[in-house]
Amino acid sequence: MNVLDRIDQPTLLLDTEVTRRNIRRMAQRAQKNGVVFRPHFKTHQSAQIGEWFREEGVEKITVSSVEMAEYFAAHDWKDILIAFSANPRQAQRMNALAGKVRLGVLLENVDALQALQAAASADMQAWIKIDVGNQRTGLDWQDVSGVAALCEKVKQTSHIKLAGLLTHSGHTYHAEGKEDVIRIFREGVERLTSLRDVLQLKGISGLKISTGDTPGCSLCDDWSGIDEIRPGNFVFYDAMQALAGSCSMEEVSVALACPVVAKHPERGEAVIYGGAVHLSKDSVLVDGKISYGLPALQAGERWGAPIPGGRVDRLSQEHGILKLPSDVLEKVKIGDLIFILPAHSCLTVQVMGEYLTPQGEKISTFNKPR
Amino acid sequence: MNVLDRIDQPTLLLDTEVTRRNIRRMAQRAQKNGVVFRPHFKTHQSAQIGEWFREEGVEKITVSSVEMAEYFAAHDWKDILIAFSANPRQAQRMNALAGKVRLGVLLENVDALQALQAAASADMQAWIKIDVGNQRTGLDWQDVSGVAALCEKVKQTSHIKLAGLLTHSGHTYHAEGKEDVIRIFREGVERLTSLRDVLQLKGISGLKISTGDTPGCSLCDDWSGIDEIRPGNFVFYDAMQALAGSCSMEEVSVALACPVVAKHPERGEAVIYGGAVHLSKDSVLVDGKISYGLPALQAGERWGAPIPGGRVDRLSQEHGILKLPSDVLEKVKIGDLIFILPAHSCLTVQVMGEYLTPQGEKISTFNKPR
């Protein structure tokens, strides 16, 4: 009996080989380009998967919260960047972490800086968060005086050390094809380096440049001007990345295995045990229609290619309603497994909190430590 | 220092008084109408909150998964209905449960019935899942021969006992106002009772009628023909229910407290620590625009009314980007808490897995048992 036969509820399958290949490829790209590889661990959220990065020479990591930093610090990571605008309410916890590891933090305002400085008894590395077009967080890249003023304030503190300029070009996720991803990625880098050059003229020197989203780092071969990259999603990729061309469907290394519980041929639908609490609710477009992931059938002891024309049409708390072509629907039996390539693997991992490998091994995450 | 001052990361606040009032009100409505009250525990997912229902005389409950049934069975609930179309792969687990509690299951096909019967050593109660218009799961209410055939098959088994007809009028969630909710709710009941009457003529008798979504049970006063109701969301309600008129804003009893980490007045935006991993990604419409919940300011030791014109415009993994009126934005300081009334409380509870009460007590859920 293989691992799939034992599955009786929605289960997040992890293809270890493909995952390790994804890690190795990105590590090699960084090495070839002479850039520090500080992968974002918010996608896999797992100490055990972290070890696979260590095997590829990774020593520096990125996380998205103080809690996640505490988790990975407890698993012997010694150089951690919390890539989330510093939250004054967590200043004490950040200071406690800084006493244990080389801690990087993100600043975009004086308020957070003051809170950190008030709590500081250990050194931490401050990165100024720059908005190069994503319009989520950060100081605008054209706001030279604002950035300069914050840098000067950082330099006046005793424990907060100015490390560099950091951005997340998250708008590559909405790019229109590969060329557009590359254009946005390079534009972001050039905006950061031009800002750095202007700051240098103002006497603020030695700033590093940190960037790197999965689409950009996967597709762009020009890494000039970059000191450090921080992609995360590439470890598993997902339907969104595959449809955008950042990876192939074969490079997507996680899928949610879901039992089929009902069929409604008159509507071209199958119902799976697998809903919003298992997949989360990000979506992609399939033939112009919303789909909460891409359904695939079993192929040997894992999932096969996405079913052409198949969609996850609706999600409720525990149910997924699939639209399937009639010939596929006819073959699918109640009790079979259908596999959903997540629209956005980061969120699916977060809600599931656990992986199952083809070898039957369970891998836990930060969110559900065992 | 009050409880709110100690909050340093996204925290799901639970107003115990309002929650207990919501429970009491629905229990009294059921009692007044002589209907069995079998509340759905998938919203709160908590053994401790379950006790508040017990104090109102509740003995029968509904859950949405076998895992959740196992959790509540371990917390001394003895009459549990799993309101999810039976999954053949979990037949053994359902049978094990049936040996411990009075277990109700949902059937809509012969495949699942056969799997249950093959595993059965203890009696279980079978409800036939009927689709009265929601188009998610169930046999169509007009498919009399299909329903009759399944009932007959159930009657031929030794351990699966035919209990009744069950529906979830989930389409009340998309109703256009209160009158439409009431119309859909009553239509569903009438479709079930007419089906029951036709089945009776075919010799299938004694079928109970189970229904009840939160909008319908909150707004409709005509409960004739109903034997049992199963609303769940009413325990906390949420932004979706308040905007639809199922409850008042004051009856919404959970909100996510989120630290403000950045302000961008030029875009009318504040950024909170609180994203898709805390709120999930359901949304409501505010002034015709998508909003992932309703932002509110602090009022005393809890949250106040939603900010007029305020929206949760975008969510990424850990960030929420709020649109706020300029006068509000001006007052809000970095490090303040902003409170988000969830668009859909069931999903927010599921991702958070824990509540904090005004008394500073943590209440755990099925999803994060301590």
Closest-approach residue (CA) in chain A for B337:
A89
User: With an 8 Å Cβ cutoff, is B109 touching chain A?
Assistant: yes
Q: Find chain B residues with C-beta within 8 A of A271's C-beta.
A: 85, 136-137
Question: Which residue of A89, A280, A368 is in closest CB contact with B281?
Answer: A280
Tokens at B284, concatenated: 């409501």
Decide if B246 contacts B231 (C-beta within 8 A). no
pLDDT tens per residue, range B125-139: 999 999 998 888 899
Confidence of residue A1 (pLDDT cuts 50, 70, 90): low
Q: Which residues, including other chains, have CB under 8 Å from residue B312's CB and lie 6 or more apart? A: B279, B291, B292, B293, B294, B295, B320, B321, B322, B340
Q: How far apart are CA A37 and CA A206, in angstroms?
A: 19
Contacts with B259 from chain A: Cβ below 8 Å: 87-90
Q: What is the mean pLDDT of residues A182-187?
A: 94
Give the phi and the psi of residue A315 in degrees, each rounded to 5.
Answer: -130, 130
Contact B319 A111 (CB under 8 A): no
What is the reported pLDDT for A370?
57
Residue of A nearest to B116 (CA): A335
Average pLDDT, chain A: 95
Nearest CB neighbour to A334, from listed B112, B333, B368: B112
**How distant, in Å, are the alpha carbons of A75, A76, A317, B280, B350 from that of B368?**
21, 25, 17, 16, 9
Q: Give the one of B67, B85, B262 whose C-beta lies nearest to A262's C-beta.
A: B85
| Three-state SS at A273 | strand
**Which of B94, B110, B142, B277 to mutate to probe the A interface, most A CBs <10 Å?**
B277
Quick one: pLDDT at residue A164?
Answer: 98
Average of per-residue pLDDT across A330-349: 97
Contact B137 A347 (CB under 8 A): no
Q: What 8-state DSSP symbol labels residue B64?
A: S
Q: What chain B residue is nearest to A111 in terms of C-alpha separation?
A: B334
Nearest chain A residue (CA) to B279: A280
- Beta-strand pair B160-166/B139-140: unpaired
Test B88 with A271 for CB contact under 8 angstroms: no
User: What's the maximum distance between 2 C-alpha atoms anywhere in chain B?
Assistant: 71
CB within 8 Å: A9 and B66: yes
CB A278 within 8 A of CB A347: no
B114 touching chain A per CB within 8 A: no
Q: What is the dihedral of CA B64, B65, B70, B76, to 10 degrees?
A: 10
Element (DSSP H or E) covering residue A330: helix A326-331
Which has the closest alpha carbon to A340: A301, A312, A313, A309? A312
CB pairs under 8 A between A and B: 144
Query: Rounded distance, CA B360 to CA A19, Å?
Result: 42
How many angstroms away from the CA of B273 is the closest CA of chain A? 8
Q: What are phi and psi of A367, to 5 degrees?
A: -80, -25
**Which amino acid is it at B347?**
L
Given pLDDT bands bounded at 50, 70 and 90, which one contains residue A177? confident
Would you tell me the crossing angle of helices B110-119 and B144-155 to the nearest 10 degrees? 10
Match 């609710």 to its residue by tokens. A281
Asked if A9 and B317 come within 8 Å (Cβ–Cβ), the reply is no
Residue A303's DSSP bridge partners are A298
| Predicted confidence (pLDDT) per residue in A112-134, tens digit | 999 999 999 999 999 999 999 88
- Could you write out the DSSP letters of every residue in B8-62? -S-EEEE-HHHHHHHHHHHHHHHHHTT-EE--BTTTT--HHHHHHHHHTT--EEE
Q: Is the pLDDT of residue A171 over 90?
A: no
Is residue B270 within 8 A of residue B338, CB to CB? The reply is yes
Considering only CB atoms, which chain A residues are within 8 Å of B8? Answer: 87, 89-90, 93
Give the nearest partner residue to A350 out of B89, B277, B314, using CB atoms. B277
Residues 32-51 of A with CB under 8 A from B: 42
> Residues 198 to 257 of A: which have CB under 8 A from any B CB?
none
CA-nearest residue to A93 within chain B is B8
Number of helices followed by number of strands (H, E) in chain B: 12, 21
Residue A346: closest CA among chain B residues belongs to which residue?
Answer: B317
Question: To probe the interface with B, which of A277, A278, A344, A346 has the most B CB atoms within 10 Å?
Answer: A277
Of the partner residues A67, A280, A314, the one whose CB lies closest to the CB of residue B276: A280
Interface probe with B: pick from A261, A333, A351, most Cβ of B within 10 Å = A261
Mean pLDDT of B341-346: 97
pLDDT tens, residue by residue, A249-273: 999 999 999 999 999 999 999 999 9
| CB proximity list for B17: less than 8 A, separation 6 or greater | none
Question: Between chains, do B319 and A136 touch, taking CB under 8 Å as contact?
Answer: yes
Q: Which helix (H) or strand (E) holds A306?
A: strand A302-306
pLDDT digits (tens, 9 = 90+) for B7-24: 999 999 999 999 999 999
CB–CB contact A85 B271 (8 Å): yes
**Nearest CA-CA partner of A213 in A247, A169, A164, A165:** A169
Report, as an integer, the average pLDDT of A156-171: 93
> Which of B92, B273, B349 would best serve as a mutation to test chain A binding (most A beta carbons within 10 A)?
B273
What are chain A's domains? 3-11+248-364 (2.40.37.20), 78-231 (3.20.20.10)
Q: Look at residue B171 and tell me whether its pLDDT is greater than 80.
A: no
Q: Is B365:B46 a contact under the CB 8 Å cutoff? A: yes
Question: Is the predicted ipTM greater than 0.90, yes or no?
Answer: yes
β-strand partners of A162: A126
B271:A112 CB<8 A: no
Whole-angstrom CA distances from B56 to A76, B30, B101, B275 are 50, 11, 21, 35
- Length of chain B, in residues: 370
Q: Is B261 on the interface with A (CB under 8 A)?
A: yes
Model confidence pLDDT, tens digit, residues B14-70: 999 999 999 999 999 999 999 999 999 999 999 999 999 999 999 999 999 999 999
Q: Which helix (H) or strand (E) holds B210?
A: strand B208-211
List of chain B residues whose C-beta atoms are within 8 Å of the C-beta of residue A112: 261, 334-335
Q: Which residues of A touch B89 (CB under 8 A)?
A: 7-9, 259, 335
pLDDT at B212 over 90: no
Give the mean model confidence (pLDDT) for residues A78-97: 97
pLDDT band at B1 (very low <50, low <70, confident <90, very high): low
pLDDT at position B370, please?
A: 57
pTM confidence score: 0.96
Confidence of residue B118 (pLDDT cuts 50, 70, 90): very high
Q: Is A137 left (phi over 0), alpha (psi -120 to 50) or beta?
A: beta
Instruction: Give backbone dihedrals phi and psi of A123, rounded to 5 degrees, phi first.
Output: -70, 145
Burial B248-281 (b: 16+ CB within 10 A, else e): ebebbbbbbbbbbbbbbeeebbbbbbbbbbbbbb
Give phi and psi for B117, each to the nearest 5.
-65, -40
In the numeric block, the tokens 């992986």 are attached to A355
- Residues of chain A in contact with residue B261, where contact means CB-CB under 8 angstroms, are 84-88, 112, 137
Mention every residue, 6+ apart, whose C-beta is less than 8 A from residue B369: B71
Q: How far apart are CA B214 and CA B32, in angstroms?
A: 17
pLDDT in tens, B258-303: 999 999 999 999 999 999 999 999 999 999 999 999 999 999 989 9
pLDDT tens column, A41-79:
999 999 999 999 999 999 999 999 999 999 999 999 999
User: What is the C-alpha separation between A226 and A291, in angstroms, rounded?
Assistant: 36
Q: How many separate helices (H) and strands (E) can be counted in chain A? A: 12, 21
Q: How many CB atoms lie within 10 A of CB A58?
A: 22
Classify burial at A32, counting beta carbons within 10 Å of its beta carbon; exposed 0-12, middle 13-18, buried 19 or more. Answer: exposed
Query: Backbone phi, then psi, for A333, in 5-degree steps?
Result: -110, 150
Whole-angstrom distance, CA of residue A347 vs CA of residue A281: 8
Distance CA A289, CA A147 (A): 42
Share of chain A above pLDDT 70, in %: 99
CA A209 centroid distance within chain: 19
